[in-house]
Amino acid sequence: MVKRTRVKDLLATTEFNREVTVMGWVRTFRNSQFIAINDGSSINNIQAVVDFNNTDEALLKRITTGASVSVTGNLVESVGKGQRVEIKVTRLEILGDSDAEKFPLQPKKHSLEFLREIAHLRFRTNTFNAVFKVRHALAFAVHQFFNDKGFVYMHTPIITASDAEGAGEMFRVSTFDPDNIPRNEDGTINYKEDFFGKATNLTVSGQLEGELAAMAFGDVYTFGPTFRAENSNTTRHLAEFWMIEPEMAFYDLDGNMDLAEELLKYVISYALEHCADELEFLKNRLLEEEKSKPQTDRSDLDLLAKLNFCLENNFERLTYTEAIQILKNSKPNQKKQFKYLIDNWGADLQSEHERYLVEKHFKKPVILTNYPADIKAFYMRQNDPDENGRRTVRAMDILFPGIGEIVGGSQREERLEKLEQRMNEMDIPTHEMSWYLDTRRFGSAPHAGFGLGFERLVLFVTGMTNIRDVIPFPRTPKNAEF
């Protein structure tokens, strides 16, 4: 096959009057003369100009939206508006036909809801070209950040017998015939006859295994798929999503917060630097979308301003107790405008509360610390009870504008007796977690870590409003296409 040049490289070149070959997909074909070609390397198309007087009419009819083509010709500076360069075609080949009447992606604006129904084709739109280029850049930046800091990338298991969060919302993994499940005398499932000899599930987090590695390597991170069988049909939840989970030995809560803030600023900066065209497109797309909303529902900042807002401000740090007092005295709470009113200490904060703190009260990203023990996981380090006897743990959540919680983490409980006591309180069988408790029995050390939901990060950086639009093939209740 003839060697091709990427559209992205040709759009940036200053070397004209040379023969080039481009291969890509037709976005539009105007006046039987102007082909807009996109090969995925850039959000922008390159224009190829056909001499229709000297081109076979049957061939021209095959140049339809969605068709795959190869064009060879002379690269010249364009005299027309809208493009800097174009190709004067000398040779044209149709690599793959596309029936114009049946191809779902016509050259017009399509709703995101419609595009979700044809997720296998939505990559070919400008919006999703931009979104998934940004997603790629953010993923690369995450690995670069941790690599440069000397962290070890740890692959933790997808199939596990533990429930790191203790919530029980797990997908079971089994090879049993669903019509012939072996049972014990008391009617319970006999997992000893299953593939692994015990009940197993898809992982909800790589954290516990990450802690094991941190006790040997010092600093590790995981970055992989996680699964929650949570029946939530919302714009913020997925059944399958990716998590970034660093675990660091000899870190306390302050060090944990410092690292998380540094990571977020690093990856946002990377995206701004390496995805300028894509973010500019997404900014304009969002501004256009918001024109149909009431003024009160529009963002105060455009997408690029919002991203820079997070870079230019040190994150505000305060305790859960301080946050509750602010929320309790806030106008939305006093005027009963919150869906979930804040009455007492101990309430589990909702997205509306988190966004109020970030967007209205502090007007900067916020890190909340020292949450009530009763609403947090068993592995978080326990603080001494306060003067009112209230029990808190060294947890931290990072809250971002427009999205609420984006990071959740804690200093881990390194004291064996305290950890066992907490596990017993929460009915977590210590005998099944003996491997985890060994890290506290043999050379225990202060350590900390956090989880960053990758899709929520992509959602924030791209300005998209539905989490199903920032993962290639979303898995949600009653939906597992492809």
Q: Residue 281's pLDDT is what?
A: 96
Q: 124-169+204-469: which CATH topology? A: BirA Bifunctional Protein; domain 2 (3.30.930)
Q: Count CB-CB contacts under 10 A for residue 68.
A: 16
Q: Cα separation of 199 and 201, whole Å?
A: 7
Q: What is the pTM (predicted TM-score) of this model?
A: 0.94
What are the sequence ranges of the domains in the chain?
A: 7-108, 124-169+204-469
Six token digits for residue 139: 């993923």
Q: Which residue has the higher pLDDT, 480 or 50?
A: 50
Q: Residue 242's pLDDT is what?
A: 97
427-441 tens-digit pLDDT: 888 988 999 999 999
Cα separations in angstroms, 375 against 153, 346, 358: 30, 8, 21
Mean pLDDT value across residues 286-315 = 88
- Mean pLDDT check: name the lowest of 232-241, 274-283, 447-456: 232-241
142-201 tens-digit pLDDT: 999 999 999 999 999 999 988 766 556 899 999 999 999 999 999 999 999 999 999 999
Cα separations in angstroms, 463 against 92, 119, 241, 303: 39, 19, 18, 6
Q: Residue 124's pLDDT is what?
A: 94
Q: Which residue has the higher pLDDT, 183 or 300?
A: 183
Mean pLDDT value across residues 277-303 = 88
Q: Cα separation of 282 and 302, whole Å?
A: 10
CB proximity list for 151: less than 8 A, separation 6 or greater: 219, 220, 221, 246
pLDDT at 272 exceeding the cut of 80: yes
Q: How confident is the model at residue 301 (pLDDT cuts 50, 70, 90)?
A: confident
pLDDT at 235 exceeding the cut of 90: no
Q: Are 261 and 229 in contact (CB under 8 A)?
A: no
195-218 tens-digit pLDDT: 999 999 999 999 999 999 999 999
Q: Residue 295's pLDDT is what?
A: 79
Cα separations in angstroms, 346 against 124, 173, 373, 385: 47, 35, 9, 14
Q: Residue 432's pLDDT is what?
A: 87
Q: Cα separation of 392 and 413, whole Å?
A: 12
Q: Cα separation of 6 and 23, whole Å?
A: 8
C-alpha closest to that of 279 among 70, 26, 464: 464
Six token digits for residue 313: 């401000």
C-alpha closest to that of 360 among 323, 396, 395, 397: 323
With both helix axes pointing from N to C terminus, report the angle between 126-148 and 276-290 in degrees, rounded to the nearest 10.
130
Q: Residue 440's pLDDT is what?
A: 97
Q: Residue 166's pLDDT is what?
A: 59
C-alpha closest to that of 450 among 411, 405, 392, 419: 411
pLDDT at 226 exceeding the cut of 70: yes
> 3-state class of 300 per DSSP?
coil
Helix (H) or strand (E) holding 219: strand 219-227
Give the Cα-Cα-Cα angle 99, 100, 102 (nearest 5 degrees). 70
Mean pLDDT value across residues 106-130 = 92
pLDDT at 397 exceeding the cut of 80: yes
Q: Cα separation of 476 and 186, whole Å?
A: 34
**Domain 7-108: CATH class, spelled out:** mainly beta
Q: Cα separation of 158 and 156, whole Å?
A: 7
Q: Are 428 and 208 in contact (CB under 8 A)?
A: no
DSSP letter at 386 equals -
pLDDT at 328 exceeding the cut of 90: yes
Runs of H (alpha helix) within 229-296: 253-274, 276-290
Q: Residue 400's pLDDT is what?
A: 92
Amino acid at position 131, single letter: V
- Mean pLDDT check: name the lowest of 4-18, 92-106, 227-241, 393-407: 227-241
Q: Residue 165's pLDDT is what?
A: 65
Cα separations in angstroms, 6 against 36, 81, 411: 14, 22, 47
Q: Are 374 and 346 in contact (CB under 8 A)?
A: yes
Cα separations in angstroms, 338 against 298, 332, 357: 19, 6, 13
Q: Residue 164's pLDDT is what?
A: 67
Q: Residue 237's pLDDT is what?
A: 85
C-alpha closest to that of 227 among 217, 237, 236, 218: 237
Averaged pLDDT of the chain: 94
